[in-house]
Amino acid sequence: MAIYLTELDPDELWFPSPENALADPNGLLAFGGDLSPERLLLAYQHGIFPWYGPGEPILWWSPTPRAVFNPMTFKPAKSLKKFQKKHAYKVSINKATDSVIDFCAAVRSEEETWLNEDMRAAYKRLAQRGNCHSVEVWQDEKLIGGLYGISVGQIFCGESMFSLSTNASKIALWYFCHHFQQFGGKLIDCQVMNPHLQSLGAYELQREEFAQTLLSYKKEPIDKRCFSEQWLTLPLEGINEL
């Protein structure tokens, strides 16, 4: 039986249901369209994200299972607590979003070239609109790690992370989980499981469960203070409790 992939018209703002995504390749749903802020936000609100390589059209995905973190139950390893107690990296939110996006693109391997110039520009536009946010990790006033993603209600859709120094991206995630849940955040979407995410405690949800969770949490607004530009801290016991 022939399988036809939906082509999106740049002049029409819609997506097919994620239930129509292919099983092979896992989650491929549609191609075409554009990277306008409106289309990107619509995509993330329905559990869809863009990912495509050089010479390809824009490809839209909604794979199953879905890798996620629960920020309320995230527990850093004792070794990470010891490391941060010794090195005292500083962590901020939304102080250098454009730089985080650029670093995420620069440090990816040659096989992961999806974060091209058009994609970077698209996420920077979302940041200007207050929809894309970053977490930065600093040492001696130098940016050494971080992550960025899209906020959808009480869900944070993580896009990419980078690390130029030991444990920098892990510390970004640790501090962000603590901060996010304090302001009402319920779930962090990481898209597809990989060994690094699994080592940090990510777990998987099947498409139906993820869709129900997304439907529930995207309708509830996050406290606006969550994504105001600021330095992030932990309670003293967060670092000292070993």
The pLDDT tens digits of the residues spanning 176-211 come to 999 999 999 999 999 999 998 898 899 999 999 999
What is the model's pLDDT at position 242? 42
Domain ranges, ordered by start, for the chain? 6-63, 67-240
CB neighbours of residue 91 within 10 Å:
25
List the 6-8 sheet strands across, edge first.
6-8, 28-32, 59-61, 49-50
Spatial distance between the Cα atoms of 84 and 25, rounded to a whole number of angstroms: 40
CATH of 6-63, picked from 3.30.70.3550, 3.30.70.2750, 3.40.630.30, 3.30.2000.10, is 3.30.70.3550
* CATH C-level class of 67-240: alpha beta
Report residue 8's pLDDT band, with 50, 70 and 90 as the boundaries.
very high
Average pLDDT, the chain: 93
Q: Where are the beta strands (DSSP E) in 121-169?
A: 132-139, 142-152, 155-163
What is the model's pLDDT at position 66? 97
In this prediction, residues 151-159 reach a mean pLDDT of 97
Q: Same topology for domains 6-63 and 67-240, yes or no? A: no
What is the model's pLDDT at position 196? 86
pTM, to two decimals:
0.93
Report residue 1's pLDDT band, with 50, 70 and 90 as the boundaries.
very low
Among residues 169, 179, 176, which one has the least CA distance to residue 137?
A: 169
Spatial distance between the Cα atoms of 23 and 188, rounded to a whole number of angstroms: 24
In this prediction, residues 129-139 reach a mean pLDDT of 98
pLDDT tens string 59-96: 999 999 999 999 999 989 999 999 999 999 999 999 99
Is the pLDDT at 109 greater than 60? The verdict is: no
